[in-house]
Structure 1
Amino acid sequence: MRFAPTLFALAFLAFALPAAAEPNAGFQVIQVPDPQGPPIEVGVWYPTDAPATAPARGMGNIKVAYGAPLQGQKLPLVVMSHGNGGWFGGHYDTAITLAKAGFVVAALTHTGDNYKDQSRATDMANRPRQLHVLIDYMLGDWTEHARLDPKRVGAFGFSSGGFTVLAAAGGEPDLRRIEAQCGAHPSHYECQMVKRSPVGAEAFTTPWTHDPRIRAVVSAAPALGYTFKAESLKALTQPVQLWRAADDEILPDPFHASAVKAALPASVDYHVVAKARHFDFLTPCDDYARKNLPVLCASNPDFDRAAFHHTFNAAVTAFFTARLALTHP
């Protein structure tokens, strides 16, 4: 049997040449100036062809290429907002997955609502404002801003961060609904927070910061879902992927994710995760977290958080890939 020389050569090359290597995730920590407060600490993950050498401090055992050069042009940007008392590294496995898929991911540590400082934990309007400051910086002042595509910006948030990205993308929550909700459910998590640190009167008059550059939103277990109604979400016209933990012990159903689902159009990409608890959206726990942060690691005994994150990260990446596709010149 004889083969055409060209076909034989192509077949030989297909077997002889190694497959194109998957990009690694580069990583850096930056300080973003904030005109209304101290600099905002931000972790940035991005695609690179440099070798991944070691895990970033405090972020498990997934290797990254610390300080490596950025690979690519016209890259999409995803900003991340953590939950109450969190930090920029709370979703590092999701960020790394996105970076390897070609995204630049910038996750901030919210000033006044993080694991070191809870002084502004109930100042919810400050969160989308800080996210806006981060987008401004990444698209205008970051050292590699010219390699980002300002028309391809997504936002990912969890818990209070899930609330944050909905507001930043156009939602107009009504915080006055908290009083009635907490009157009926005083033991709920957010009601205990408000009891310790009451919402100031200015919270009801401060305008919400919206950022029209956000083109797609992923909101996981959003807090204060009952403060949104269909009318207050009518300006949020971007595609939304919404996640709910079926056994959420912190933000119980139907007051949060389900309330947001009811207020959004039917086109929302909605996922209910069977047997998941609230903190299962955080990166799977390593030995340090299991020992020192057991509350964050208390999954249901028959729930495999690591296996879920394989599915979760793939779904989030697929959503942003499809919704932030390069469709302009």
Structure 2
Amino acid sequence: MHGFKFAVALILLFAACATDAAGVRRIKIDASAAGPWIAGAVWYPCATSVQDARSDDVALSGVKDCPLSGNKLPLIVMSHGRTGWFGGHHDTAAALADAGFVVAAVAHPNDNERYHDGTDSLEVLAGRSGDIKRLVDFMLGDWPDASRIDDHRIGLFGFSVGGYTGLVVIGGDPDFRKGQPRCARTDLRPLPVCAQLDSGELPMDAPAHDSRVKAAVIVDPWPEFLLPADHLSAVSVPIQLWSSDPSHQADGVSGCCAATIRDRLPSQPEWHFVANANHFAFLALCSPKLAQDAPRICTDPPGFDRAAFHQTFHAEIIAFFRKHLNAGQKQ
């Protein structure tokens, strides 16, 4: 589902869920020489009781513009999946905020639920990592509470193409050679990026790395074919890597491609295989309306409890970031 109908369904999803103590604000990163304007949201620790917060046309669960609680807070930046949006993992963002993290997410230009003209293109697959670098710059510079963030404690969460994006941010070097050999696979031939590489096209901007990111949670990363082992050799930060179950690969995405990336990384990540989970089990729980309008992302396999899984999922992510980001805490 694309366009306005999908956006409305996602708005309903966001409105239907609640958080315990997360403040929330909308953000906008202005256009510059580095790229176009980017919309997003920030979740952060807040001591005020729960209430719905409305901002523009999107109902954000949390306390709108609540004063931030705490200092020297760790920052987590989030990268959504293919044609996703900045609120696709809002329950995960809120859980991290409740645990003491500032969490910032953006809608990747030309590859989000409203605007997806660039989805699967060379421009987007080269530029997504730059969006995340700009988000870190914004959070440490222009965000009103930037001084409350510990710039030595920055982590990343990436799902699907956002997982690929995260791997590039932490040092992965996409293979954008002319005639990229893996593009010869029949299942990849329709992808715009493969046609562009076959013609010898090069990205306008080089993929961006950001050494400020010290740990990463990567979920079902794709497209894995752009990151062969020798293009991941510079990745050195701790990674928590999650995989859905390939027994559900009839949907075209489940089970791909965390295990492949795991075997290519120079050091072993913290590995989590989620039996009976499909690819979309990592997205936030669906409202009844969204379940009706977007069954593909809302329907879980028989016997799989997304709500129960997310409790475990969030606990593991929080523990991972606490372990690996606290080591860099300023004194």
TM range (shorter): 0.7 to 0.9
Matches within 5 A, 1:32-71: 32-35=29-32, 36-54=34-52, 63-71=61-69
Structure 1 234/56 Cα, relative in aligned 2: closer, same or farther at 3 Å? Answer: farther
3-state SS of 1:171 partner: coil
Q: Is residue 223 of structure 2 the alignment partner of residue 221 of structure 1?
A: no
How far is 1:327 from its partner?
Answer: 3.9
Q: What letter is aligned with 2:307? A: A
Equivalent residue number for residue 240 of structure 2: 241
Structure 1 266/291 Cα, relative in aligned 2: closer, same or farther at 3 Å? Answer: same
Deviation sequence 1:14-43 (CA, Å, 0-9, x none): xxxxxxxx9710001011123244321011
Structure 1 236/295 Cα, relative in aligned 2: closer, same or farther at 3 Å? Answer: same
Q: What letter is aligned with 2:21? A: N
Deviation sequence 1:218-247 (CA, Å, 0-9, x none): 110000113223321121110001111013
Structure 1 165/275 Cα, relative in aligned 2: closer, same or farther at 3 Å? Answer: same
Q: What letter is aligned with 1:143? A: P
Query: Residues of 2 paired with 1:196 and 1:239: CA distance?
Result: 31
Q: What letter is aligned with 2:213? A: I
Query: Residues of 1 paired with 2:226 and 2:21: CA distance?
Result: 40
Query: Residues of 2 paired with 1:270 and 1:177: CA distance?
Result: 33
Structure 1 273/167 Cα, relative in aligned 2: closer, same or farther at 3 Å? Answer: same
Query: Residues of 1 paired with 2:180 and 2:233: CA distance?
Result: 24
Equivalent residue number for residue 230 of structure 1: 229
Q: Report if the CA contact (8 A) 1:27-1:68 is conserved.
A: yes
Q: Is residue 129 of structure 2 the alignment partner of residue 128 of structure 1?
A: yes
- Provide structure 2 residue ranges, at least 5 long, that are not aligned to the other structure: 1-18
Deviation sequence 1:52-77 (CA, Å, 0-9, x none): 212667989x9411110000000000
Q: CA RMSD in A?
A: 2.5
Q: More deviation in 197-206 or 237-246?
A: 197-206
Matches within 5 A, 1:20-35: 24-35=21-32
Q: Report if the CA contact (8 A) 1:250-1:278 is conserved.
A: no
Matches within 5 A, 1:34-183: 34-35=31-32, 36-54=34-52, 63-121=61-119, 122=121, 123-176=124-177, 180-183=181-184
Q: Report if the CA contact (8 A) 2:80-2:158 is conserved.
A: yes
Structure 1 203/281 Cα, relative in aligned 2: closer, same or farther at 3 Å? Answer: farther
Matches within 5 A, 1:152-301: 152-176=153-177, 180-186=181-187, 191-194=189-192, 198=196, 201-203=200-202, 206-246=205-245, 247-248=248-249, 249-251=251-253, 253=255, 256-301=257-302
Query: Residues of 1 paired with 2:84 and 2:288: CA distance?
Result: 18
Q: Report if the CA contact (8 A) 1:29-1:44 is conserved.
A: yes
Q: More deviation in 175-184 or 81-90?
A: 175-184
3-state SS of 2:171 partner: coil
The structure, 1 or 2, with the larger RCO (C-alpha pairs under 8 Å, 6+ apart) is 2
Q: Report if the CA contact (8 A) 2:126-2:203 is conserved.
A: no
Structure 1 252/94 Cα, relative in aligned 2: closer, same or farther at 3 Å? Answer: closer
Q: What letter is aligned with 2:257? A: H
Deviation sequence 1:182-211 (CA, Å, 0-9, x none): 43342x6xx544389856744468422100
Q: Report if the CA contact (8 A) 1:165-1:219 is conserved.
A: yes
Structure with bigger gyration radius: 1
Query: Residues of 1 paired with 2:183 and 2:254: CA distance?
Result: 13
Query: Residues of 2 paired with 1:176 and 1:308: CA distance?
Result: 39
Query: Residues of 1 paired with 2:272 and 2:168: CA distance?
Result: 20
Structure 1 275/78 Cα, relative in aligned 2: closer, same or farther at 3 Å? Answer: same
How far is 1:252 from its partner?
Answer: 5.4
Deviation sequence 1:98-153 (CA, Å, 0-9, x none): 00000000000011100111122122011000110110010011100000000000
Q: What letter is aligned with 2:83? A: G
% identity of equivalent residues:
37
Equivalent residue number for residue 12 of structure 1: none
TM-score by length of 2: 0.84
Q: More deviation in 31-40 or 277-286?
A: 31-40
TM-score by length of 1: 0.84
Query: Residues of 2 paired with 1:311 and 1:56: CA distance?
Result: 29
Structure 1 147/327 Cα, relative in aligned 2: closer, same or farther at 3 Å? Answer: closer
Structure 1 172/213 Cα, relative in aligned 2: closer, same or farther at 3 Å? Answer: same
Matches within 5 A, 1:1-12: none
3-state SS of 1:215 partner: strand
